[in-house]
Homo-oligomer: A and B are copies of this chain.
Amino acid sequence: MRFDEAYSGNVFIGSHSNYMESKAVLYGMPMDWTVSYRPGSRFGPTRIREVSIGLEEYSPYLDRELEEIKYFDAGDIPLPFGNPQRSLDTIKEFVDKLLAADKFPLGMGGEHLVSWPVMKAVSEKYADLAIIHMDAHTDLREHYEGEPLSHSTPIRKIAELIGPKNVYSFGIRSGMKEEFEWAKQEGMHISKFEVLEPLKEILPKLAGRPVYVTIDIDVLDPAHAPGTGTVDAGGITSKELLASIHAIAGSKVNVVGADLVEVAPIYDVSEQTANTASKLIREMLLGFVK
């Protein structure tokens, strides 16, 4: 009977009730205040949890069930509206604690800038970190209309921190000319338009290395993810994105953290984007958390 305890509410399906015993922690980063186009991704994590009740806990792709791994849903990190710097600091502090406790961090955005403090925290723990980045956009700007803390800058920031050669971007189909040129000059990997095939080529080179996987839902074609801030035609299908996650899961890289960002539910009355995101989260849990 639920009378003996607090209602556990809107948690992701199959989550474990005990933080201490959990290997992985799922958390939301409900921030969207630096986006230049359509806001609303602050509500992404809540809606992804809500629709996860439509999911089975078993993956026929990976032949694995959620009960085989223990993960804790920590809810959304409370962030100060409209203050990017304090928000990023709060996220960093939260993830530092997870990493200190040897938890696998699995984040849900929020705008892509939230990945920056997480990647920074992970890079401080793992010396030889590589980033696998799936996105429609380069996100390699130094600043956006004068703001260095912008949803267009997180990949640039981590590239400058750990070295551009350690960042691998896939599916990119939008950016400024200068961003593509910067990447080329600095030796950063960018696979334009495609994800799965170039990923399969890169994965063996990363074997054994710690890898953080950051996925912007807009790497999907708008047909597959209309509920995001900046939809950009010519993307991949959800079938290809699932296969890409499974390719990483089946490779020899050591995934040490991951996130899925930019789900903005209001633009998708059918809620297909949130439903797809909840399936991707399940596959990331089952595929990445050993």
Q: Which residues of A contact B (CB under 8 A)?
A: 1-11, 15, 17-19, 32-40, 42-43, 46, 49-50, 53-58, 60-61, 63, 65, 72-75, 78, 80-84, 86, 97, 101, 144-147, 149-150, 172-177, 180, 192-193, 221-224, 226-227, 230-235, 237-239, 242, 266-272, 275-276, 279-280
Chain B positions within 8 Å of A231 at CB level:
54, 270-272, 275-276
A223-B272, A226-B272 given; A54·B37 CB < 8 A: yes
Q: A73–B5 Cα gap in the complex (Å)?
A: 10
Contact between A222 and B50 (Cβ–Cβ < 8 Å)?
no
A222 touching B270 in the complex, CB below 8 Å, given contacts A38-B54, A75-B7, A180-B60: yes
Query: Which residue of the partner chain B has the closest CB to A10?
Result: B10
A80 close to B267 (CB less than 8 A): no
Residues of B within 8 A of A145 (CB): 78, 80-81
Whose C-beta in chain B lies nearest to the C-beta of A227?
B270
A10 touches B46 (CB 8 A): yes
CA distance A233 to B56 in the complex (A): 13
Distance, CA A15 to CA B54, complexed state (A): 26
CB contacts (< 8 Å) of A50 on chain B: these are 10, 46, 50
A8-B8, A145-B81, A266-B266 known; A176-B74 Cβ under 8 A? no
Shortest C-beta distance, A15 to chain B (Å), equals: 8
Inter-chain contact A268/B270, CB cutoff 8 Å: yes
Further 15 A-B residue pairs, CB within 8 A, beyond A82-B147, A82-B150? A7-B75, A9-B10, A9-B73, A37-B54, A38-B40, A38-B266, A81-B145, A81-B147, A83-B147, A223-B272, A231-B270, A231-B276, A234-B242, A235-B239, A268-B269
Q: Which of A6, A7, A38, A84 has the most CB of B within 10 A?
A: A7
Docked complex Cα distance between A233 and B241 (Å): 10
| Residue from the list B101, B223, B226 in contact with A221, Cβ < 8 A | B223
